[in-house]
Amino acid sequence: MDWESLQSIVVHGNTQEFLNQVTESLQTGNKQFGVLQKGLREQCFQQVPINAARDFVCQALLRLISDENTEGKTPIAHLLLEAVPPDNGVPRTSDKAAAHLFSVCCCAERARLAVKVAQVFSVKLTDVEDQQQCRRCVHSLLQDKALLTPAVGLLLHFPQLSDGISVSEVLEGLVEEGQLGLAQRWAATLPLEVQIRLVTHCVACDRLKEAVKLVRHFHLQQVWRSFIIFRTDCYHPPKGLCNMVAGFEQPRCMQ
């Protein structure tokens, strides 16, 4: 890869030629993904003004995903996003371009790309032109088991999008789908009451290992004497679980 030539292409804004060279490099196997990513960041993007580099990546990605021939485009898109240099506190000029790129990606087919764009460019919901479309997209993603990860990724980045969503119900569904890690990651950003409700759901579904993992992850040991006592009238926990949580304080919200 001729990095000086690629720098010149970036400076002159020739996104098509840039994409051609990157695609060729990947297809011929001259560069492994990680090596090419590092080269793009250090030998190309970091050698031009930060805002110019970030704006250029936005425009290159818009051109890439607008191409009707989508074969092999997803790896290139993720490669460019991974290579985007941080803004290092420099006032950004790419906010609107990044928000537009996010809006274009905010659909089921590009949901994972949308999450990455939001994270890399620190997209704010206030910069997104059609916020309702974004909300509709998230609601739609939550209905598809295969797209739960990007759905939660968007909710983590844009907490405002959880309005109108039964958060506890979604969390419980994640656990039942074997997505404990994802549920745990999201619940960690939510109020204590939601975390407790998630644990009690695990107990009620006889998912005791998951319940104990959540208690430990959320550090509920010191605030919860026993997360099984409040339903002793209809739930008789196994002795092993009783021993494991013995000594926990019961949270005030459950008293």
Angle of helix 3-11 relative to helix 50-66, nearest 10 degrees, comes to 90
For residue 83, the model assigns a pLDDT of 93
Q: Environment class of residue 39 by beta-carbon count within 10 Å: exposed (0-12), middle (13-18) or buried (19+)?
A: middle
> Residue 130 in 3-state DSSP?
coil
User: Can you point out the beta strands (E) in the chain?
Assistant: none
Integer Cα distance of 110 and 74 in angstroms = 9
- The encoded tokens of residue 57 equal 């990546």
For residue 79, the model assigns a pLDDT of 93
Identify residue 124 by its one-letter amino acid code.
K
Inter-CA distances, 164 with 34, 50, 249, Å: 40, 38, 32
- The encoded tokens of residue 208 equal 């005791």
Average pLDDT over residues 9-30: 87
Integer Cα distance of 183 and 79 in angstroms = 27
- The string of pLDDT tens digits covering residues 130-168 is 999 999 999 999 999 899 999 999 999 999 999 889 999
Q: Is residue 18 scored above 70 in pLDDT?
A: yes
pLDDT band for 15, please (50, 70, 90 cuts): very high
Integer Cα distance of 152 and 143 in angstroms = 12
Average pLDDT over residues 108-126: 94
- The string of pLDDT tens digits covering residues 31-85 is 678 888 999 999 999 999 988 999 999 999 999 998 766 667 888 999 999 999 8
pLDDT band for 183, please (50, 70, 90 cuts): very high
For residue 202, the model assigns a pLDDT of 87
Average pLDDT over residues 125-133: 92
For residue 238, the model assigns a pLDDT of 47
Q: Environment class of residue 87 by beta-carbon count within 10 Å: exposed (0-12), middle (13-18) or buried (19+)?
A: middle
> Which region among 75-84, 211-220, 221-230 has the lowest average model confidence (pLDDT)?
221-230
- The encoded tokens of residue 160 equal 């405002």
